[in-house]
Amino acid sequence: MRVIIESTPEAASRRAAQMVARLVRQKPVCTLGLATGGTPLKLYGELIRMHQEEGLDFSRVTTFNLDEYVGLPPSHEQSYRYFMQKNLFDHINVDVRNTNVPDGRALDFEKYGERYEQLIEDAGGIELQVLGIGTDGHIAFNEPGSSLGSRTRLKTLAPETVRDNARFFGSEKAVPKLAITMGVGTILESRRCLLLAFGENKAEAIAATVEGPVTAQVTASALQLHREVVVVLDEAAASKLA
Ligand code: F6R
């Protein structure tokens, strides 16, 4: 694991965007894994700027998102498909047909999970997976106790995650309690991972991820087993590292 600490979320996001842009320039036909939530917003903003001002070309890029809430249609303002359109896809030249976000309205989630895995495989696997981290140490929606070999499947959100995400929905009650998510095993198969975390509320999860034991109680700690992980932090998120 390579840990990079920048003074602010802005500087850290620019650093992360440079890594994504380098890949897209070197390998125009590539597959990116993407995350939602508050953390990658500045990274996506920087990628949009690079597209608009520097001609960064996404026309042959394929994307796979980590997760989606169950029951939300793509038109719902809190669905992750809506998030990706609004915060990235609508502002760059990616072909929307090459963007994949799990379908929260699938009828048979077991079959759907297998299909999503197959789509990733058919695309040649994920070259670079962007990740955020939950305050409980989750990556994607792999909550504490998830198997470290897990694949794309249905998952119940932990109460801590429901509380954390209530800020987007206005109340805890409105937060869907189920999500479809790539598994830890799926994420570990990406060729490279780029984990971002900002703010003091992520400091404990980051310390456990980077310096703690590998445990299903902190699913991000499984990234210690991966050969190519870059962790980009601001100073606050790094504040509990030894
Ligand atoms: C989102 C995702 C989640 C978030 C995590 C942090 O696609 O997979 O694991 O990355 O919950 O969320 P934020 O960035 O809102 O703090």
Concatenate the DSSP letters of all residues of the chain into one string.
Answer: -EEEEESSHHHHHHHHHHHHHHHHHH-SS-EEEE--SSTTHHHHHHHHHHHHHH----TT-EEEESEEETT--TTSTTSHHHHHHHHTGGGS---GGGEE---TT-S-HHHHHHHHHHHHHHTT--SEEEE---TT--BTTB-TT--TT--SEEEEPPHHHHHHHHHHHSSSTTS-SEEEE--HHHHHTSSEEEEEE-SGGGHHHHHHHHHS--BTTBGGGGGGGSSSEEEEEETTTTTT--
CB of 138 within 6 A of ligand 1: the answer is yes
Q: Indicate the pLDDT class of residue 215, thresholds 50, 70 and 90.
A: very high
Nearest CA to ligand 1 atom 10: 132
Residue 204 has a pLDDT of 98
Q: Is the CB of 132 under 6 A from ligand 1?
A: yes
pLDDT in tens, 108-130: 999 999 999 999 999 999 999 99
Mutate to test the pocket of ligand 1, among 34, 39, 78 (most ligand atoms within 8 A of CB): 39
Q: What is the pLDDT of residue 57?
A: 98
| CA 212 to mean position of chain CA atoms | 21
pTM for the structure as a whole: 0.98
Structural domains in the chain plus CATH codes: 2-233 (3.40.50.1360)
Distance between Cα 165 and ligand 1 center (Å) = 9
Q: What pLDDT score was predicted for residue 153?
A: 98
pLDDT > 70: what percent of the chain? 100
Q: How far is CA 105 from CA 77, 83, 100, 118, in A?
A: 15, 16, 14, 19
Going by alpha carbons, the residue nearest to atom 4 of ligand 1 is 132
Confidence of residue 66 (pLDDT cuts 50, 70, 90): very high
Half-sphere exposure for 128 (CA within 13 Å, toward CB): 22
Spatial distance between the Cα atoms of 175 and 178, rounded to a whole number of angstroms: 9
Atom index in ligand 1 nearest the CA of residue 140 equals 8
- Which position has the token pair 């953390």? 39
Percent of the chain past pLDDT 90, that is, above it, reads 100
Cβ 205 under 6 angstroms from ligand 1: no
What would the pLDDT profile of 170-211 be if each residue is shown by its tens digit? 999 999 999 999 999 999 999 999 999 999 999 999 999 999
